[in-house]
Amino acid sequence: MEESNNEGNAQAVNSNNTPSPFLIPGAIVVSGVLIAGAIIYTNSFGAPAGGNNLAGAGTAPIIKEDLSDNDPMLGSPEAPVTVVEFADFQCPFCGKFFKTVMPQLTEKYIKTGKVKFVYRDFAFLGEESEFSASAAECAKEQGKYWEYHDYLFGHQNGENQGAFDKKNLKQFARALGLNGGQFDTCLNSDKYLEEVRSDTEAGRAVGVSGTPTTFVNGKAIVGAVPFAQFEAAIAEALKKAK
């Protein structure tokens, strides 16, 4: 998702610079190539929702502090590499990460004891982001956090359009066999709202401005990038851990 002020800046540049008519055909060709390339890249991998590539090129400093907090984890606690994802359940690129990267990450690294994976909320896209993150925490009370996490990413349907309103979130809980009364009480009370907001603020404190942002032993990767980029970062982290 691109920031709208980028378009405004481009219009300002164009309005302040009148190109020579002899340069226009060449400029059109070059612009067409650049736009086509951008469309192909975006459709293939996506960009972080609402953010910029502050760490995508590997230029951001490595975070030394423990980012895992007490959030839900997959894998062995003794794994040498910790992968922490800051994500929003409404974010389409987080959905892409879940569908394309997570299965490979699970099979190659989590199940083999090399990586422990931690999911943290960065619920910034609106009310339904906080509702869904809170609902997942309510499911955690009944031992079904990851089932609910997966169900949410499998049922994305636009941002703040009602897909993750409280009524639907309660139906999801019943579809997964949770105790409906207990879940409803938890969700209605906003029991975990402050925890969700605390996670989001923790993300901002370490430079997260868009989702998904994933840290591999503190090194940030921004966006639903190809799995190969995660492989390279994990290989580097494993080498350093020896």
Residue 117 binned pLDDT confidence (cut-offs 50, 70, 90): very high
Q: Which two tokens stand for residue 228?
A: 């190969």
Q: 27 or 80, which is more confident?
A: 80
The pTM assigned to this predicted structure is: 0.77
pLDDT above 90 covers a percentage of the chain that reads 70
Distance CA 98, CA 229 (A): 15
Tens of pLDDT, residue by residue over 78-109, are 999 999 999 999 999 999 999 999 999 999 99
Average pLDDT over residues 25-46: 40
CB 47 within 8 A of CB 1: yes
Domain boundaries, the chain: 4-45, 73-241
Tens of pLDDT, residue by residue over 187-206, are 999 999 999 999 999 999 99
Average pLDDT over residues 26-38: 41
Given this structure, which CATH class describes domain 73-241?
alpha beta
